C-alpha cells in the first residue's frame, strides 16, 4: 500500500496544579504504538500510553510506589506528519489535518466478534436441523409386500 511511519516512544512534560495533588513530571518517557501509512494522519478516540519502564529504573521521574498511579488518557488524539518540507506550517495558522485518516480501532471489535459468533451458532443450528430432516425415513413396518397395493387415480 505504501510506506509507513511509526512512532513507539516519546517524552512528555506535565505540570498540573489542579486537584488535591500537584503533579510535575518532566521528560516522562511514554511507550505507545502509533503508526500510519505515509500521507495518512493518525487518529484515535482514546489513546492510553503507558509510562515506560525506563522511568522506574532511573528512580528520578516516578517513585517505585507510584508505578500504577500514573496514567495518561488522550481523547480524540490526532497526529499528522508531513514528509514534504514545503507543506509544513510551523506558525500554526489555520493548519488542517489531511482528509485521509488511519484509525486506531482494531479490525475485529467486540460487536463484530459477537455478530460472527451468533451467526456461527445459528448456522450450526440450521445445519443440524437440515441434517435431521434429511434423515427422516418413511415407516415400512405396516407394509405388506404380498398384499394389494394402494393406487391413487387422478381425474381432472
Residue-range domain boundaries for the chain: 4-105, 106-136
Going by DSSP bridges, is the β-strand pair 50-51/74-79 parallel, antiparallel, or unpaired? unpaired
pLDDT for 33 equals 73
CA-to-CA separations, 11 to 21, 28, 65, in angstroms, rounded: 22, 5, 21
pLDDT for 116 equals 96
pLDDT for 124 equals 98
Write the DSSP string, 2-16: --EEEEEEEEEEEEE
pLDDT for 73 equals 77
Cell of 68: 500504577
pLDDT for 17 equals 63
Amino acid at each position: 500500500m505504501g510506506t509507513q511511519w511509526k512512532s513507539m516512544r516519546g517524552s512528555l512534560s506535565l505540570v498540573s496544579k489542579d486537584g488535591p495533588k500537584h503533579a510535575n513530571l518532566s521528560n516522562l518517557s511514554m511507550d505507545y504504538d502509533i503508526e500510519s501509512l505515509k500521507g495518512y494522519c493518525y487518529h484515535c478516540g482514546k489513546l492510553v500510553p503507558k509510562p515506560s519502564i525506563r522511568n522506574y529504573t532511573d528512580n528520578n521521574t516516578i517513585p517505585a510506589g507510584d508505578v500504577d498511579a500514573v496514567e495518561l488518557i488522550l481523547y480524540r488524539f490526532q497526529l499528522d506528519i508531513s514528509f514534504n518540507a514545503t507543506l509544513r506550517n510551523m506558525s500554526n495558522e489555520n493548519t488542517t489535518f489531511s482528509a485521509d485518516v488511519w484509525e486506531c480501532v482494531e479490525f475485529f471489535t467486540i460487536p463484530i466478534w459477537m455478530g460472527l459468533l451468533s451467526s456461527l451458532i445459528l448456522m450450526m443450528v440450521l445445519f443440524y436441523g437440515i441434517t435431521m430432516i434429511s434423515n427422516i425415513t418413511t415407516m415400512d413396518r405396516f407394509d405388506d409386500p404380498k398384499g394389494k397395493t394402494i393406487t391413487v387415480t387422478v381425474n381432472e
